[in-house]
Amino acid sequence: MDQQHVSSLLPTGPLGRRSFLTRVGGLAALGAVGFAGSDLHRGPGSLARAATTAVDVPAADQDPLDLLKRMISIDTQNFGQGGKTRPFAEMLKGVWDRAGVQSEIIPTPQPDNVHLIARIRGTTSAAPVLMLGHSDVVPVERDKWDVDPFAGVVKQGQIWGRGALDMKGMDSATVTSLLRHIDEGGQFERDIIVLTDCDEEAGNYGSGWLAEQHWDKLDAGMVLTEGGWFLAQRDKRTPMLITVTRQDKVYFNLDLTANGLATHSSKPNPDAAIVKLSRAVSELAGWLAPVHLTRVTRRYFRALAEATTDQLFARAIHRMLSARSQSELERAARVVVARSSYPWLHSALLRTTAAFVIEDAGYKENVIPSTAHVRVNCRGIPGGQKPRDFLAQVRRMMRARGVSVVLAAPEGTTEAEYLDQLDQVWATEPADLDTPLYHALAHAAASTYPDAVFAPALFEAGTSLGPWRDHHIPGYGVYPYVIDNDQLIAMHGNNERIYVDALRRGTEFMYRMFDRFRV
């Protein structure tokens, strides 16, 4: 069944902690049985491993807002070659230390650029759950912010700062929800690994490097990272759709270059390189790649139609899903995007996107340069339009403008080789939905957001999940706080922020998700 309310997704899995306590007569009976019912699932020495007592975790470390303020206050900007993440890792290691959780800082060859791995031991040898969160953030334009981006300012019911949404907010919700379980004396039936990695926003020593060096520390059965959006109704606050991403879009770059006659700036001409490139960029910016619906995005949009209280929006989605021709599909998709409260997000989930991110030309004010260049960041839909087909379309368009288009392949890789690699990523299957982690996320959504609809989704961006996908380990994504469109588009932009009450409710979501792994 493709569309359903969160309450209908509850699986009949292993006996939960609360129902177990009820059935065996409460805490006294629990002490009498000594977890004997779980012994068959443990290896040698597991009883000693399972023994634990509650740790008096400081209240501030259990407060997601307090911890997020501390996280934001540490500048971990990544300008393209990694950030200085050691102060962040050392602060967070102190949090784990106070909770009695084993953690380890792993340096990279780049000074002050480190990973942090914490491991909460479980009672059995079941495959661990790995929580993947990055510590680095994209740079800021300080003069464009209304507040200090590294002060963790709270105003208008929101916490502002670089990383508040992406993804120190998620990091804070993960850590504080786990610390609450630890403070209660809770035990998990499998190890919980929390990896706070570096170089997610660019650099040479991210999760791929770490996996090559220390796979034994990262080997897990399931992974959760950033991704799925918690969307609101038109009032911008009421939870509408709770999504868990199971697949990322395919990332690649194109370089557009225009050539012209270099001459004195006193003699402008219509075929100057900058002029030619500007015309080409304008044309490409006004063009949309074809709409492609896959089984993942169809399921998402069906859930969105069920979730929204805007009946005109719901009808537009149903028309799009039932379109019988490409032209009908394109017309319906335009209406869906126009009616959506999150138009840029929903446009991105329908097609390959092209974003103009870096432009350079010229070197002196009295010289018209001979060359102008722009980099275009592209994101393709797995199972939709292939990157090679999108590239061919763009090249046909740009050829008429006299602009060359080059696929930006990794160093030492030919275009043909890189296209083959992109084909493999494009063909990657979405994560399995029949796993303990996915079921735990569904339960958390049902209990935390009972009036919202829950659905798996495609992430319009990318994550650090590559090493686990390469090992065929299912990976999912959430940003566990309800956001409005203004907050969504501030991601990687200016005035990044999330609602404080949404952060607290999202932390409760994470707590309930982990609760499914308690014994």
Whether residues 412 and 344 fall in one domain = no
Longest dimension (CA), the chain: 93
Full residue range of the structural domain in which residue 323 is found: 305-351
Whether residues 347 and 358 fall in one domain = no
pTM reported for the whole predicted model? 0.89
Q: 2 in a domain, yes or no?
A: no
Q: 437 in a domain, yes or no?
A: no
- Tell me the pairing of strands 250-259 and 371-380: antiparallel
How many other C-beta atoms lie within 10 A of the C-beta of residue 116?
24
Whether residues 64 and 207 fall in one domain = yes
CA–CA separation, 391 and 422 (whole Å)? 12
Walk along the chain (519 residues) and give the pLDDT tens digit of each residue. Answer: 443 333 334 443 433 443 333 323 333 333 322 322 333 233 333 333 444 568 899 999 999 999 999 999 999 999 999 999 999 999 999 999 999 999 999 999 999 999 999 999 999 999 999 999 999 999 999 999 999 999 999 999 999 999 999 999 999 999 999 999 999 999 999 999 999 999 999 999 999 999 999 999 999 999 999 999 999 999 999 999 999 999 999 999 999 999 999 999 999 999 999 999 999 999 999 999 999 999 999 999 999 999 999 999 999 999 999 999 999 999 999 999 999 999 999 999 999 999 999 999 999 999 999 999 999 999 999 999 999 999 999 999 999 999 999 999 999 999 999 999 999 999 999 999 999 999 999 999 999 999 999 999 999 999 999 999 999 999 999 999 999 999 999 999 999 999 999 999 999 999 999 999 999
Whether residues 170 and 25 fall in one domain = no
Whether residues 322 and 254 fall in one domain = no
Whether residues 357 and 403 fall in one domain = yes
Whether residues 161 and 207 fall in one domain = yes
Whether residues 30 and 144 fall in one domain = no
Whether residues 419 and 373 fall in one domain = yes
Whether residues 215 and 259 fall in one domain = no
Q: 452 in a domain, yes or no?
A: no
Q: 456 in a domain, yes or no?
A: no
CATH of the domain at 268: 3.30.70.360
3-state secondary structure 350-383: CCCEEEEEEEEECCCCCEECCEEEEEEEEEECCC
CB 418 within 8 A of CB 255: no
Q: 68 in a domain, yes or no?
A: yes
CA–CA separation, 76 and 391 (whole Å)? 35
Q: 321 in a domain, yes or no?
A: yes
CB 358 within 8 A of CB 375: yes
Whether residues 205 and 81 fall in one domain = yes
Q: 113 in a domain, yes or no?
A: yes
Task: Determine the pLDDT at residue 254.
Answer: 98
**Hey, what are 394's tokens?**
């763009």
CATH of the domain at 123: 3.40.630.10
Structural domain count of the chain: 4
DSSP letter at 289 equals P
Whether residues 218 and 134 fall in one domain = yes
Q: 479 in a domain, yes or no?
A: no
